[in-house]
A = this chain, B = another copy of it.
Amino acid sequence: MSPKITTELLKQLRQVMKSPKYVQEPVQAYIVPSGDAHQSEYIAPCDCRRAFISGFDGSAGTAIVTEQHAAMWTDGRYFLQAAHQMDNNWTLMKMGLKDTPTQEDWLVSVLPEGSKVGVDPFIIPADQWKRMSKALRSAGHDLVPVKENLIDTIWTDCPHRPCKPLIMLDLSYTGVSWRDKIVALRSKMAERKVLWFVVTALDEVAWLFNLRGSDVEYNPVFFAYAVIGMNTIRLFIDGDRMMDPAVREHLQLDSTLEPEFKIQVMPYGSILSELQAVGASLSPKEKVWLSDKASYALTEAIPKAYRYLTPYTPICIAKAVKNASETEGMRRAHIKDAVALCELFNWLEKEVVPKGTVTEIIAADKAEEFRSQQKDFVELSFATISSTGPNGAIIHYKPVPETNRTLSVNEIYLLDSGAQYKDGTTDVTRTMHFGTPSAYEKECFTYVLKGHIAVSAAIFPNGTKGHLLDSFARSALWDCGLDYLHGTGHGVGSFLNVHEGPCGISYKTFADEPLEAGMIVSDEPGYYEDGSFGIRIENVVLVIPAETKYNFKNRGSLTFEPLTLVPIQTKMIDVNLLTQKECNWVNNYHQKCREVIGAELERQGRHEALQWLIRETEPLARAQ
């Protein structure tokens, strides 16, 4: 990996930072965050501006360029990668280390008095703007919005913003029509006494209109905004996608509808001016609801007194609670996904053990191939983590030719992968050994399994937030002085983003919403030993009501049902470390895999994979 040479680019950027063509007054610093205008986790190539200017293409990082300096803030996952990808015009700011200054402190230390710091107001979330603006102002500087993105002005071969055809989801997939979703949204708006709601997150637009797209890799979304009033619906979207008769029919664009359900289609780029018009039309006490993570540009379009900001929007919360159709779709998707993985693991056993010719990349491709054979397969839900031996200890590993290892009978293999099917999204991790695992590897695996089971089998009161379950996943590891440095679970969309809010299971105290029946999260504890191996056991699980002996204050209880039904390699389990209850959990889980996935393998005529499944789901026997 050789670094990107950025001398010329930085020179150009510094010129436009002073050019009256682009900035009202020269800016002494320009911030290039990594997000897009929708604060997406995965972004389109045209939004990879930070990677363009610096060469560093990790998923997290913020670049700041001043007249003299260029600095990049990123976290521990990316220190090495960033150092390799950036030339020596750049200073790497290692976030999380004690001596690393914050962006604000660094700016204050390098800027001449009374400087202007520019940023694209569409790319920076309002809450970040506020924090940074305050810090700069208190040091005598100004954060200023620069309307034209300065990177775009020098990025001559910038790819076009994608504008791919839309997929319509009918009621059998969504369970609720977009009309009924609008009705429900308006009732939430009425409860909070707001007149308008601005939909800025791409997955929220997609969910609301029962549409999907493919503008961003892995996430079935499309570039659009929506503004919902009590009597109006405005959809901001580009391209000829709205010419497609099927889309027009889905959105009833040509039907005679009550005016409050008539969708006005407007250009994607007109959101700001339309929102400013809304802002200008408001009377006192009339409010506009926005996510507090919406861009500064859109937030600022609504005068402060009229803003109603919340960390999670009503769509985010409604979207998280899957209805019966979505749940059934997720079940179907996970059955198909399990079939693909049974095929894969069976194939791996046949190839790895005698031949030793399978690399991480080949295994990942094979997994995709088996998945793509399944009905309604659309694409992967994230870049497959296919890692063997020491690569398994790199939590966000993705095999590339430079790092590609060959699977062998001597190393642990970790596969974290998932797909988008039209009926649901999957995300599953299995850790296996194709030879004979050491006692220590089995011991670590078994602690991780105990943590996985502790979460999966947990019973907890209605209203419990996911972060209260995180320690259950770690307890067995903690007892032996071990741990893992990531959260235990994230929300999963229904044929939508594989990571979604507002719930999760993490030691980090974020403002998560309580778990509710119908929510879907991952359960994925792990253990990683730098330079030798990684272990992770991940199922996607559905929150369901639990039957309990008593019912304190009539609150009701919840538990999880695994949607992922892929065998957990029993060879890796030290049965003596399991309690009888844990042993029963494994056996019941494998029994269910055998029944449900077995039937589907049978139906699909995949007999060899079925034999593999039956072998892998033999009950554990525990010495009493």
**A interface vs B, CB < 8 Å?**
138, 305, 458-461, 467-472, 474-475, 477-483, 507, 509, 546, 548-553, 555, 557, 579
In order of increasing CB-CB distance, the 6 nearest A-B pairs are A481-B548, A481-B550, A509-B509, A480-B549, A481-B551, A482-B552
Interface of A is mostly: mixed
Residues of chain B within 8 A (CB-CB) of A546 are: 481
Knowing A468-B507, A470-B468 are in contact, say whether A480-B305 is a contact too (CB < 8 A): no
Q: How near does chain B come to A318, taking the closest CB pair, in angstroms?
A: 20
Residue in chain B with minimal CB distance to A469? B471
- Residue from B469, B480, B551, B555 in contact with A548 in the complex, judged by beta carbons closer than 8 Å: B480
Q: Is B483 a contact of A555 with CB atoms below 8 Å?
A: yes
Q: Is A482 a contact of B305 with CB atoms below 8 Å?
A: no
- Residue from B458, B477, B480, B550 in contact with A480 in the complex, judged by beta carbons closer than 8 Å: B550
Residues of chain B within 8 A (CB-CB) of A468 are: 470-471, 507
A557 to B138 Cα, complex, angstroms: 41
A548 to B479 Cα, complex, angstroms: 7
A120 to B138 Cα, complex, angstroms: 29
A232 to B60 Cα, complex, angstroms: 47
Some 29 contacts from A to B, beta carbons below 8 A apart, are A138-B305, A458-B475, A458-B478, A459-B479, A459-B481, A460-B471, A460-B474, A461-B478, A461-B481, A461-B483, A467-B509, A468-B470, A468-B471, A469-B471, A471-B471, A471-B472, A477-B552, A478-B557, A480-B549, A481-B548, A481-B550, A481-B551, A481-B552, A481-B557, A482-B550, A482-B552, A483-B552, A483-B553, A579-B579
A344 to B67 Cα, complex, angstroms: 77
Residues of chain B within 8 A (CB-CB) of A548 are: 479-481
A326 to B475 Cα, complex, angstroms: 30
- Residue from B459, B475, B477, B509 in contact with A472 in the complex, judged by beta carbons closer than 8 Å: B475
Q: How near does chain B come to A309, taking the closest CB pair, in angstroms?
A: 14
A480 to B551 Cα, complex, angstroms: 8
A304 to B602 Cα, complex, angstroms: 72
Residues of chain B within 8 A (CB-CB) of A557 are: 478, 481
Q: Is A459 a contact of B471 with CB atoms below 8 Å?
A: no
- Residue from B305, B459, B481, B482 in contact with A478 in the complex, judged by beta carbons closer than 8 Å: B459
Q: How near does chain B come to A329, taking the closest CB pair, in angstroms?
A: 30
- Residue from B479, B480, B483, B549 in contact with A481 in the complex, judged by beta carbons closer than 8 Å: B549
Residue in chain B with minimal CB distance to A528? B552
A460 to B477 Cα, complex, angstroms: 9
